[in-house]
Every structure is written in C-alpha cells, then in structure tokens.
Amino acid sequence: MGKNKTVLCLVAHPDDAEFQCAGTLALLADKGWKIVIATMTPGQAGSTELGPEEISIIRRAEAANSATLLNGTYHCLESEDVFAMYDRPTLLKAIELIRNVKPTIVFTASPSDYMIDHEVVSKLAMTACLAAGIPNIKINDTTPYNTIPYLYYCDAMQGKDILGQEIKSDIYVDISSTIDIKEKMLCCHKSQRDWLLKISNVDEYVIMMKDYSMKKGGEINCDYAEGFRQHLGFSYPSENILKSELDMLVYQSF
C-alpha cells in the first residue's frame, strides 16, 4: 500500500478510544499501521475526589500508557470536559493535528451520542479531515495535508442516541483476537472506575465494555466485534479501507 500507514483516533476523553475502537486499532497495528490516539480533553472532570489539575495529570498518563500497548502515541488538545466547543480555536487545533499526524484513516465519535463532548469532537474531526488540505487556512508552520482521510464513526456509547434509540452499525470488525489487548488498554484507565460508578452507576466498566463487544459480535456470529459507520459525503474517500486491510474480519451490512 502506497499511502501513509497511520491511523488517528480523535475522540473526546481519555478511555473513549478503548471503549469505541481499540480492538480495531490493535488489528491495524498488527498490520504495521502506526497508531495515534488523541483526545480533545485531559478528562479534568473525571473525579469526585481529585481536583482538575491532579486528575488531568493522572488521566494523560493513563492514556499514554494505553497507547504504548499498541506502540502508539497519545496527544491531548487540552479543551475542557463539557466545554469542548465547535469554534475557531478548537477547530484550528484539530486541523493542526491532522496536518502533523497525516493519517490515512481517522476514527472518531458518533455524530449522535449520549453527551455533547462526543458529538462536538465528531463534527470537529469531520471538518478537520477536509479543511486540513485548504492552503488558505494558515496554522503556525504547518503545510496543507492534501489527502482526505478515510473517516469512520465509532458506535455511540452502548449503541444508542440521546433518546435511547439504537444506532445501527454499517460496518463490523471481528475483534475476537484482540479483545484481550482492548481490555488491557481499558484497564490502564484505573482512575475511572469510581467516577463511572458515581456518575453512571457503572461498577465494572471492563465488563460493560466486553458485554457490548459481545453483543456486537453476536450480530455477525463472532465472539466480539466493534461497529462503525463510514463518512461517505462528497470529497471523502468511499472505498472501505478497513475491508481492504483486515479482509475477512470486516463485515458490511449494506
């Protein structure tokens, strides 16, 4: 393959990538792809006991440790939980990230999800993938990135929108062979167990992840799977590169 074998996962918070697409990232890493995980925020709101600066330090380290399990790197764009905005300063950060990373594939959150940070980062990623190639958008010393990445939206949290309606996946990836590394990556985020228990009444977040992955696997008759939808709007590439790269592990429902 002649293209740059780099994958960018641009999500809202530390641990989002692990819930949403870590199994697929691991499969791509096994195929020689470079993995970059980026979050809009350091997760400064993710504690009921620690202050924002202290928990941010912990969560950045957890995210970096998780990425290293795939020999990947981690970046934080330093927005704030709940206050991540679709505005000029934040979008410029996302565009700069795309230009610096030069990904061929981008994963991001579902356009419709349970909280606004996820929906905002989804829109930021969509725009940044296209805008990174516009020469008249000047950002520091970056140069335009003239390849529009293949853009995939991960499943919403538990596969539901804000009204509790199911959002169906168009593309499934069999992650049965990488569920263990997905679990190890999620376990790097130890600070979040108490937080999720108090905020979402979720005690065993690893069990929650595996249960959902098992549910998705059941939809395609395998043990564990992750679901995606591909952005197919004008100018974006329409080939399913996941199918090209992962072959029999990828199933399409259309």
Bridge partners, 34 (sequence order)? 6
As a CATH number, domain 6-252 is 3.40.50.10320
Q: Is the pLDDT of residue 2 over 60?
A: no
**In the predicted model, what is the mean pLDDT of residues 166-194?**
94
| Pairing verdict, β 73-76 and 105-108 | unpaired
**In the predicted model, what is the mean pLDDT of residues 94-111?**
99
% of the chain exceeding 70 in pLDDT: 95
pLDDT confidence of residue 212:
97
% of the chain exceeding 90 in pLDDT: 88
**In the predicted model, what is the mean pLDDT of residues 211-235?**
98
- Tokens representing residue 2 in the block: 């002649």
Spatial CB neighbours of 2, under 8 Å, sequence gap ≥ 6: none
| Alpha carbons 21 and 66: distance in angstroms, whole number | 13
pLDDT digits (tens, 9 = 90+) for 132-146: 999 999 999 999 999
Closest CA to 78 of 53, 102, 103, 99: 53
pLDDT digits (tens, 9 = 90+) for 57-68: 999 999 999 999
Mean pLDDT over each residue of the chain, to the nearest integer: 94
- Provide the residue ranges of all domains of the chain, joining segments of one domain with +: 6-252
pLDDT confidence of residue 21:
99
Distance of CA 38 to the CA centre of its chain: 8
Q: Is the pLDDT of residue 203 over 60?
A: no
Cα diameter, the chain: 49
| Alpha carbons 19 and 174: distance in angstroms, whole number | 15
**Lowest mean per-residue pLDDT among 37-41, 160-164, 202-206:** 202-206
pLDDT digits (tens, 9 = 90+) for 82-96: 999 999 999 999 999
Cα 241 to Cα 3, 62, 167, 211, 250: the distances in Å are: 11, 30, 22, 27, 10
pTM (2 d.p.): 0.95
Q: Is the pLDDT of residue 202 over 60?
A: no
